[in-house]
Amino acid sequence: DFWYVQAWCRKKEGERTFALDKIRSWRLTDRYFLPKNEVASMEKIQETFGPYVDAEKEEVVVHFSPEVRQYFLRRKWVKEQECKELGNGWLEVKFKVRGVHAFKHWLYRWLPYFKVISPEWLKEEIQEELKGALKNL
């Protein structure tokens, strides 16, 4: 298991997710900080895919083929998920998530039964990763 801590980052002046196993060193000082009011709410945590609560919420639109469409009609995979039947047997699903990169890795489990419609950058990133993976086979 991986452990994460959600904390205020002075360098980025915002909330960030830190992987505990990536912290190289730490030391105790006399400095202190008052807690920020901008902590992640339970609602924000529930919108998150993976540990990245600090990510911006994005809409991802995916078309799923008839072979797997029932899994999305029967179950909500994320809090904000809308399904729309397409005339050709495919299902359009709109997901609103934080942590699109973690979402992308979850999406791979549905290969080859999906098409990413938007965002365009995600579609292109998946295409490039799959091309690279094919070269390694």
Peptide bond into 35 cis (omega under 30): no
| pTM of the model as a whole | 0.70
Residue 57 is predicted with a pLDDT of 86
The closest of 49, 47, 66, 62 to 123, measured between CA atoms, is 62
Q: Average model confidence (pLDDT) for the chain?
A: 86
**Is the pLDDT assigned to residue 30 strictly greater than 70?**
yes
The range of the structural domain enclosing residue 26 comes to 1-137
Split into its structural domains, the chain has a count of: 1
CA-CA-CA-CA torsion sign (85, 86, 91, 93): negative
Q: State the DSSP H helix or E strand holding residue 124, giving kind and residue range, or none if neither.
A: helix 120-135
Mean pLDDT of 20-41: 77
Taking the C-alpha atoms of residue 103 and residue 79, their distance in angstroms, rounded to an integer, is 13
Residue 47 confidence class, pLDDT cut points 50, 70, 90: low
